[in-house]
Amino acid sequence: MKKIAATFFIAYLSIAAFSQQTVSMQVNANAGKDKISRFIYGHFAEHLGRCIYDGFYLEDSTINVLKQGRIRLDVVNALKEINIPLLRWPGGCFADRYNWSDGIGPVAKRPMRINSTWGNVPEDNSFGTDEFLQLCGLLNCEPYIAGNVGTGTPREMMDWIEYLNFGGKSALSEMRRANGHTNPYKVSFWGVGNESWGCGGDMTPEYYADLYKRYAAFCLDYPGTPLKKIMSGANSDDYNWTEVCMKNVNPGQLWGISMHYYTLVNNWEHKGAATNFKEDEYFKGLKNCLHIEDLINKHSAIMDKYDPGKKVSLCVDEWGIWTDAEPGTNPAFLYQQNSLRDALIAASSLNIFNKHCDRIRMANLAQTVNVLQALVLTQKEKMVLTPTYYVFDLYKYHQDATLLPVNFFSPDYKYGNESIPAVNASASKDSNGVIHITLVNIDPKNKITVNADLSGAAFKAAEGQVLASGSFADVNTFDKPDKVKPAAFSDFKKNGNDLSVNLQPMSVTLITLK
Ligand code: AHR
């Protein structure tokens, strides 16, 4: 009797285990209403470590790479490939100690300052406003400038905007012309401070909301360039910050309010290693990354109270995994490697941002080159594209496409006594009617079959690509740059309007339906 019961129990367990690895998904191809703003796929470049100098902008002009002036074109071309839509600059915390007038005019005459935010290293200001705008021109992306509220003045920000955007005759627009740029640059995205609750001035939300209104009053629109002003928003779960700012500032006075959230594996004191970690740190990294959806829901609910028409964007203008710096590097430079785990973090975060595109219309991964969750790492002539870069490559088709509702119950990925959803996904339809579905399987051991019902989608052909690797800790290095890279994917079956896709363990899959 005991034996029969045990057999039934084992059979039950295996059915349960098996059924748990199959997901029924509905993708409603005709129910899309919200656009996934391309600015969700934005990036961030701060005067920090080797992001600007030695990343985008050569310090050593003898380095033999494709370049324009001192701008590295190998980096530019890689970012153009993923359709980089927006670049935020000059910080971060650096922005609230930066005076824009230090960085214009003949380079030899620019003052030497200290980058007191990041390691007290010399800042020669050779990369300034015109160089940044030149970089954005080469990238064909929108510039997003973070203004200085912490140590600056409304006058400084007003002058900066006039220098960049005024098409008529004034001392500042003439200065721009003398510096080689006849036409106004038309910079519309402006951050009014950065992390004003912390490095940007340690303010209370009440004080900042008043200051925001003062600055905003002097951030002037010039013909053809209405400004998109963005309030410095909350640190992760500081809901009071969002509440006070939204309550005190009329939604008509801002385009967006930001929110910053970094995925930490452990805590700020012991962040966790970027390489050679085990499953416990893989699990914690993914779990903490998925927490961002809770933050988005709660900040959005507060915004809904004051802006029910959802006119104001929630801008996640800094996000990504922050690990310990690579051993042997300057800890103030925040240089970290980037693994398959980090790619899954990026892919899951982007699926979440897509899902909430009715409120989130901008997000910027921190940071583009050589800092934090970078897309590109450089070492003299060499450049390596990280696993995270390839996620942005697979996801670029969602930019400005219409979000399609996706419904499913995910099986769990269990580790120890904890569990998180193993699968996340998003789908969109582009202006040619092509559907793209991005599917993430976080489970490091189990394949998961997704049976997708695509009612309303009349597609003739399906194609796939997958980003996966043997270990979640796999990275691309200067010696082995192609270890983690997308490959063609064909482990799916089309049956009329249904699609059955076998997701590999720890993978990001793109399915294109034409
Ligand atoms: O991205 C690094 C830093 O993180 C930024 O300068 C700051 O805004 C945030 O705290």
Q: What is the pLDDT of residues 110-144, one digit of tens each?
A: 999 999 999 999 999 999 999 999 999 999 999 99
> What pLDDT is stored for residue 7 in this prediction?
42
Mean pLDDT of the region 306-313: 97
- Residues sharing a CB contact under 8 Å with residue 109, sequence separation 6 or more, in sequence order: none
For 429-442, what is each residue's pLDDT tens digit? Answer: 999 999 999 999 99
463 has catalytic annotation: no
Long-range contacts of 297-305 (CB under 8 A, 24+ apart): 298/237, 298/239, 299/233, 299/234, 299/239, 299/242, 299/259, 300/356, 300/359, 302/239, 302/242, 302/243, 302/246, 303/242, 303/246, 303/257, 303/359, 305/246
pLDDT confidence band for 10 (50 / 70 / 90): very low
Question: What number does the ligand 1 atom closest to the CA of 44 have?
Answer: 1
In contact, 275 and 332? CB cutoff 8 Å: no
From 88, 263, 318, 333, the mutation candidate for ligand 1 (largest count of ligand atoms within 8 A of CB) is 318
Question: What number does the ligand 1 atom closest to the CA of 198 have?
Answer: 10
In contact, 436 and 511? CB cutoff 8 Å: yes
Asked whether the bond before 90 is cis by omega within 30 degrees of 0, the reply is yes
For 55-69, what is each residue's pLDDT tens digit? Answer: 999 998 889 999 999
CA distances from 41 to 306, 353, 441 (A): 26, 9, 21
Distance, CA of 104 to CA of 85 (rounded, Å): 25
DSSP reduced 3-state for 510:
strand
Of 372 and 12, more confident: 372
pLDDT confidence band for 53 (50 / 70 / 90): very high
User: Any alpha helices (H) in 356-420, and if so which ranges?
Assistant: 387-395
Distance, CA of 97 to CA of 146 (rounded, Å): 11
Please tell me which residue in 123, 162, 195, 281 is annotated as part of the active site.
195
pLDDT confidence band for 14 (50 / 70 / 90): very low
Distance, CA of 172 to CA of 188 (rounded, Å): 18
Of 9 and 330, more confident: 330
Q: Which residues pair with 451 in a beta bridge?
A: 24, 500
Tokens read off for 8: 């039934």
> What pLDDT is stored for residue 459 in this prediction?
86
> What pLDDT is stored for residue 495 in this prediction?
84
Distance, CA of 514 to CA of 504 (rounded, Å): 23
CA distances from 269 to 264, 322, 324, 370 (A): 10, 11, 9, 21
pLDDT greater than 60 at residue 19? no
